[in-house]
Chain A
Amino acid sequence: MESTRDKIKKYIINKIMFESDESLLGCSESLLEKGIVDSLAIVNLVSFVENEFDVKISNDDITIQNFESVEAISNLVEKSLQQQD
Chain B
Amino acid sequence: MTYLLQHLLKQAARKSPQKEVIIAGETKLTYKQLDKLSNRFANLLIATGVKKGDRVGLYMPKNIPAVIGVFGILKAGAAYVPLDINAPSARIAFFIQNCEMTHLMVSSSKKEIMDEVFKENTSLDTVILSDDFTDIPSEWPAHIHDWNKVMQSHDKNPNVRNIDTDLAYILYTSGSTGVPKGVMTSHHNSLAFINSMSELFKILPEDKVANPAPLKFGISIFDIFVTIKEGATMVIIPDLLTTFPCQLADWMHENEISIWFSVPFVLSRLVLDGQIDRYNFDHLRAVFFAGEVFPAKYLRQLMNLWPSVTYFNIYGTTETNVITGYEVEPLDEDHIKPIPIGKAISNLEAFLIDERGNLIDRPGESGELCVRGAAVAQGYWANEAKTKENFIENPLDPHSKDLVYKTGDVVVLDEKGRFHYTGRRDHMIKSRGYRIEIGEIEAALYSHKSIKEAAVVGIPDELAGHKIKAFVTLHDKRSLEPVELQKFCTQQIPRYMVPESIEFLEALPKTSTGKIDKTALT
Contact = CB atoms under 8 A, between A and B. Distances in A.
B243 A18 contact: no
Interface in A1-40: 14, 18-20, 32-33, 35, 37-40
29 contacts: A14-B483, A18-B483, A18-B487, A18-B489, A19-B483, A19-B487, A20-B481, A20-B484, A32-B240, A32-B243, A33-B109, A38-B86, A38-B495, A38-B496, A39-B265, A39-B269, A40-B464, A42-B244, A43-B464, A59-B275, A60-B275, A62-B244, A62-B246, A62-B273, A63-B244, A63-B246, A64-B243, A67-B243, A67-B244
Contact of A64 (B240, B486, B496): B240
B463 interface: yes
Nearest to B265: A39
Nearest to B247: A63
Q: How large is the interface on A (under 10, 10 to 19, 20 to 34, 35 or more residues)?
A: 10 to 19
Contacts of B153: none
Given A40-B464, A62-B273, A18 B244 contact: no
Nearest to B481: A20
Given A39-B243, A59-B274, A62-B245, A18 B464 contact: no
Contacts of A62: 244-246, 273
A57 to B, nearest CB: 10
Nearest to A61: B246
Interface of A: 14, 18-20, 32-33, 35, 37-40, 42-43, 59-60, 62-64, 67
Interface of B: 86, 109, 240-247, 265-266, 269, 273-275, 431-432, 463-464, 481, 483-484, 486-487, 489-490, 495-496, 498
Contacts of A19: 483, 487
**Most chain A CB inside 10 Å of its own CB: which residue of B240, B265, B275, B432:** B240
A18 B432 contact: no
A44 to B, nearest CB: 8
Contacts, number: 60
A40 B496 contact: yes
A67 B273 CA distance: 15
B241 to A, nearest CB: 8
B289 to A, nearest CB: 15
A38 B487 CA distance: 17
A12 B245 CA distance: 21
A59 B242 CA distance: 14
Contacts of A43: 269, 463-464
Contacts of A38: 86, 243, 495-496
B468 to A, nearest CB: 11
A32 B247 CA distance: 15
B246 A37 contact: no
Contacts of B244: 42, 62-64, 67
Contacts of B498: 18
Nearest to B484: A20
Nearest to A35: B86
Nearest to A36: B495
Given A18-B490, A43-B464, A62-B273, 18 more contacts: A18-B483, A18-B487, A18-B489, A18-B495, A18-B498, A19-B487, A20-B484, A33-B109, A35-B86, A38-B86, A39-B269, A59-B246, A62-B244, A62-B246, A63-B244, A63-B246, A64-B243, A67-B244
A80 to B, nearest CB: 15
B248 to A, nearest CB: 10
A18 B486 contact: yes
Contacts of B246: 59-60, 62-63
Nearest to B263: A39
B228 to A, nearest CB: 27
A35 B496 CA distance: 12
Contacts of B265: 39
In the A-B complex, the 6 residue pairs with the smallest Cβ-Cβ separation, listed nearest first, are A18-B486, A39-B243, A18-B487, A59-B273, A42-B243, A60-B246
